[in-house]
C-alpha cells in the first residue's frame, strides 16, 4: 500500500495535536536510525526517509546499489512513519543535536523547518564537483529550496496531480487520436469529454476522492484548477491571505457543477475512488501519479497525462520530495561529504525512482532514453514545468494542516453539503486561523 493511502490518513489524523502529543513523549523516543558501527575505513552515513509501499521498495533497491558501489560508506537507512510523526521527529532531531546526516522533506514544508536552525545548507561547490548544479533543475523548484541565499533543499522529484484515463473507453467515446487522449482545452471541453464518456458507459465520466477522514483530494482538485487562473492562496512570503474571491468562486462553482450534472462520482472515499476506476467503467480518474502500480496490477487498459488546462494557463497541484541536511552542531568532514555523494548518486540514478510514477527533478534524467521508454510515466513529464507548490507557510505542503482543513471544506462542495460561496467563506476563516497559529515544531520559533 502506498503511503498516500489509508495509512497516511491515520498518521495525519491528529494534526497540530499529534505534533504536540509526539513532542510530549520526549526527545526522539524510538525514532533513531539503526545504530550499526561502521567498519574499518568506512564512513558512517545515516539517512531518514518516509517511503513505504512501492516507493519504499524502489528506494531500498537504489540504496543497495549505492552500497555496492561505495563500500567505503556504511549507509544506515531508516524508514519512519509517514506524516506528522515523521516531521515531528525530524524537527526534534535538528533541535536536539541527534540528527542523521541526510533526510527527505517535502519541499513545500521547508518554510516550517526553520532553515538555519533545524536544517543546515548544502555545499553547492561540493555538489557541483559531484555533477549536480542549479541549471540541472527547473528554476522554480530549485529556488524553492533557497532561504536567505543558501540552498537548504535539493529536489528529487515532483509528484503531481495527474489525469488517468481508460484507453478503450476513451476510444469508444471518440476522445483518442494516435493512441493518446486528444488535447482538451478549457473547462467546457473537459465537461464535454466527461459527457461523451458517460454516453458510452452510462456511468459518471470522472471519479476522484470526495469524502472521508482527512480527505485531501478536494483540496488538490481546487488547488490545481485555481492555479490555472493565476490566483494565489497566500502571499508570496506565505504570511498573508491572498485568495481571489472571483477566481476561487469560478473554480468552486465548476467543481460543484460537475457533481450536480452527474459527470463525476459524487461520493467516494479514497479507496473507493481507486476501486471504481479499477473497475474499468469510469473513463477518468484524478489523483497523484503514485497509483500507477495499483492500476498496472489490475491490468486495466489505461494511460496518464497532465491535467488539462481548463482555466487559462497550465498548472497542477504538486509537491516535491527533496533532500535536506538536518542540523548538526559539528556538521562537516567525511560524513557530510558522504551525504552529498548520496544525494548526487540518487539524482543521477533516478530513472529507477521514476518507475514508481514520480517525475524526476534532475533534468538530465528526463532526457535519458531509459526514462523516455517508461510508459506511461514519461507521458506526463511536462508537469515538471507547471507545478503549483503551496506558498511557503509552516502549515502548508504534504501532510499539512492546510490540506486537511481545506480538503474537508471543499469536500462539501463535491458532495453537495456546502455551497461554493459558503465553502469559500469557511476556507478563508480556516486559513486566517492557521496564519495566526505559531509553528509548533521545536526550534522553529524565531
pLDDT digits (tens, 9 = 90+) for 221-249: 999 999 999 999 999 999 999 999 999 99
Can you give the pLDDT at residue 115?
84
| Residue 128 clears pLDDT 60, i.e. is over it | yes
Question: Do residues 62 and 56 touch, judged by C-beta distance below 8 A?
Answer: no
Q: Which distant-in-sequence residues (6+ apart) come within 8 Å of 306 by Cβ?
A: 160, 162, 163, 314, 316, 380, 382, 383, 386
Question: What are the helix and strand counts (H, E) for the chain?
Answer: 18, 17
CA–CA dist 309, 312 (Å, integer): 6
pTM over 0.85: yes
**Average of per-residue pLDDT across 308-331:** 96
Q: What is the mean pLDDT of the chain?
A: 90
Q: What percent of the chain has pLDDT over 70?
A: 90
CA–CA dist 270, 335 (Å, integer): 41
| Residue 35 clears pLDDT 80, i.e. is over it | no
Segment among 7-11, 57-61, 171-175, 214-218 with least mean pLDDT: 7-11
**Confidence band for 25, pLDDT divided at 50, 70 and 90:** very low
Can you give the pLDDT at residue 36?
53
Give the three-state DSSP class for 433: helix
* Pairing verdict, β 180-181 and 321-326: unpaired
CA–CA dist 217, 267 (Å, integer): 12
Can you give the pLDDT at residue 83?
77
Can you give the pLDDT at residue 442?
67
Burial 252-285 (b: 16+ CB within 10 A, else e): bebbbebbeeebbbbebbbebbbebbbebbbbbb
Q: Helix %, strand %, coil % for the chain, to 5?
A: 45, 15, 40
**Average of per-residue pLDDT across 32-44:** 66
Write the pLDDT tens digit of every residue in 342-393: 999 999 999 999 999 999 999 999 999 999 999 999 999 999 999 999 999 9
C-alpha gyration radius of the chain: 22
| Residue 421 clears pLDDT 60, i.e. is over it | yes
Q: Which domains does the chain have, with CATH numbers?
A: 6-159+319-388 (3.40.190.10), 161-318+392-435 (3.40.190.10)
Position with higher pLDDT, 14 vs 157: 157
Amino acid at each position: 500500500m502506498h503511503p498516500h493511502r489509508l495509512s497516511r490518513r491515520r498518521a495525519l489524523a491528529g494534526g497540530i495535536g499529534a505534533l504536540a502529543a509526539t513532542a510530549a513523549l520526549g526527545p526522539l523516543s524510538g525514532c533513531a536510525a539503526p545504530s550499526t558501527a561502521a567498519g574499518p575505513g568506512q564512513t558512517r552515513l545515516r539517512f531518514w526517509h518516509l517511503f513505504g509501499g512501492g516507493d519504499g521498495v524502489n528506494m531500498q533497491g537504489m540504496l543497495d546499489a549505492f552500497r555496492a558501489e561505495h563500500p567505503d560508506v556504511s549507509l544506515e537507512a531508516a524508514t519512519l512513519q509517514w506524516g506528522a510523526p515523521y516531521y515531528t521527529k525530524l524537527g526534534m532531531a535538528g533541535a536536539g543535536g541527534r540528527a542523521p546526516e541526510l533526510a527527505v522533506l517535502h519541499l513545500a514544508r521547508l518554510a516550517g523547518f526553520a532553515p538555519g536552525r533545524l536544517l543546515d545548507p548544502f555545499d553547492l561547490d561540493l555538489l557541483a564537483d559531484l555533477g549536480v548544479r542549479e541549471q540541472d533543475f527547473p528554476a522554480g523548484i530549485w529556488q524553492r529550496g533557497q532561504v536567505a541565499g543558501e540552498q537548504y533543499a535539493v529536489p528529487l522529484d515532483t509528484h503531481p496531480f495527474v489525469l488517468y484515463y481508460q484507453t478503450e473507453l476513451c476510444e469508444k467515446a471518440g476522445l483518442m487520436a494516435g493512441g493518446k487522449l486528444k488535447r482538451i482545452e478549457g473547462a467546457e471541453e473537459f465537461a464535454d469529454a466527461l459527457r461523451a464518456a458517460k454516453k458510452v458507459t452510462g456511468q459518471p465520466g470522472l471519479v476522484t476522492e470526495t469524502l472521508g477522514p482527512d480527505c485531501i483530494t478536494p483540496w488538490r482538485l481546487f488547488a490545481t484548477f485555481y492555479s490555472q487562473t493565476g490566483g494565489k492562496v497566500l502571499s508570496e512570503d506565505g504570511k498573508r491571505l491572498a485568495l481571489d474571491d472571483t477566481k476561487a468562486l469560478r473554480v468552486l462553482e465548476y467543481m460543484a457543477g460537475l457533481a450536480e450534472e452527474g459527470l463525476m462520482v459524487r461520493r467516494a472515499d479514497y479507496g473507493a475512488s481507486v476501486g471504481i476506476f479499477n473497475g474499468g467503467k469510469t473513463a477518468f480518474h484524478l489523483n497523484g501519479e503514485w497509483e500507477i502500480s495499483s492500476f498496472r496490477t489490475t491490468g486495466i487498459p489505461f494511460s496518464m497525462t497532465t491535467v488539462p488546462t481548463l482555466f487559462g494557463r497550465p498548472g497542477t497541484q504538486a509537491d516535491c520530495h527533496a533532500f535536506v541536511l538536518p542540523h548538526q552542531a559539528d556538521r562537516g568532514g567525511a560524513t557530510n561529504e558522504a551525504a552529498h555523494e548520496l544525494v548526487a548518486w540518487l539524482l543521477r540514478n533516478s530513472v529507477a525512482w521514476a518507475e514508481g510514477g514520480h517525475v524526476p527533478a534532475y533534468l538530465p534524467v528526463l532526457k535519458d532514453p531509459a526514462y523516455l521508454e517508461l510508459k506511461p510515466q514519461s507521458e506526463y513529464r511536462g508537469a515538471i514545468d507547471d507545478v503549483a507548490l503551496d506558498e511557503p507557510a509552516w502549515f502548508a505542503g504534504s501532510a499539512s494542516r492546510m490540506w486537511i482543513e481545506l480538503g474537508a471544506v471543499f469536500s462539501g462542495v463535491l458532495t453537495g453539503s456546502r455551497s461554493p460561496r459558503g465553502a469559500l467563506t469557511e476556507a478563508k476563516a480556516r486559513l486566517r486561523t492557521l496564519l495566526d497559529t505559531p509553528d509548533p515544531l521545536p526550534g522553529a520559533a524565531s
